[in-house]
Amino acid sequence: MNQTTSGWIHGFAGVLIFSGSLPATRLAVADLDPIFLTVSRAAIAGLMAGALLLVFRQQRPARSDIVPLLLVALCVVVGFPLLTALALQYVTSSHAIIYIGLLPLSTAIFGVLRGGERPKPAFWILSALGSSLVAGFALTQGAAASPVGDALMLASIIVCGYGYAEGGRLSRRIGGWQVISWALVLSLPVMSLLSFYYMPGSWAGISTSAILSLAYVSLFSMLIGFVFWYRGLAQGGIAAVGQLQLLQPFFGLLLSAVILHESIGWPIFVVNIGVVLCVAIARRFATK
């Protein structure tokens, strides 16, 4: 298996894991404060990441990597989880998931700015087409929109795209799981203190589904998913593998239908075919 193929496989695994993030977050914020959810998931993942780094005796990052790692932490450990958790107080999971279709374009743009990648013009056309298909599908949905929720989701896409590109760039040098692990460890002191500060006064009224959702976003969304995702970006290219995120809304919508009982219609499958074609063809034009 060549490195590019391995990158796409790892990236796809990351997308599958991330697809459960918004449905799980929607369940969690029904009983938990969004700020507590954000800081506690980062603290839990940070403890696990620290243990991994100790077990495998990883060297400390170079001084020049500290600021980029802090930026990764600010974007994907704090920014994206917090903005989406706040947004899900105003919009449904299925409505918020549609915005994830814009992540490939955001990631590709920052991949050019931060990763030095130069996709062919056809790549940008296909990327825009795929994003337009997802956005057009969103307009056909009956979910009630909220200006506040939509603004928060758009902000989260910009923040996350930068965090993915910055992390993918670092992964080429220090490794995919090491990037997210060090980012989590660097944020652990602050996240731990905030977790205790925002902790619910009583857990008696917290549902089992909210607790399980917290466990999912802490273990899978915050750590395991990034192990696969950053490795995929490093091996297959930030802009190229980033196109796999076009599939995430559809996996997420299916999970929302199963877990949250949110309704979806047959058009999702038609649009999904178009998106898959865009991803497959865009791969050929990802590099000059």
Whole-number Å distance between alpha carbons of 4 and 238: 11
Whole-number Å distance between alpha carbons of 46 and 134: 33
Q: Given phi > 0 = left and psi -120 to 50 = alpha, else beta, which region is 116?
A: left
- Assess whether pLDDT exceeds 80 at residue 265: no
pLDDT at 252: 81
Q: What angle do CA 260, 261, 264 make, to 5 degrees?
A: 115
The residue count for the chain:
288
| Residue whose entry in the numeric block shows the structure tokens 């603290």 | 43
pLDDT at 97: 74
Nearest Cα to 264, choosing from 255, 277, 274? 255
| Average pLDDT of the segment spanning 143-172 | 86
Greater pLDDT, 191 or 109: 191
- Helices and strands of the chain, counted as H and E runs: 15, 0
**Can you give the pTM of this predicted structure?**
0.86
> DSSP code of 223?
I
pLDDT at 253: 77
Question: How far apart are the two ends of the chain, measured CA to CA in Å?
Answer: 22
pLDDT in tens, 193-215: 999 999 998 998 899 999 999 99
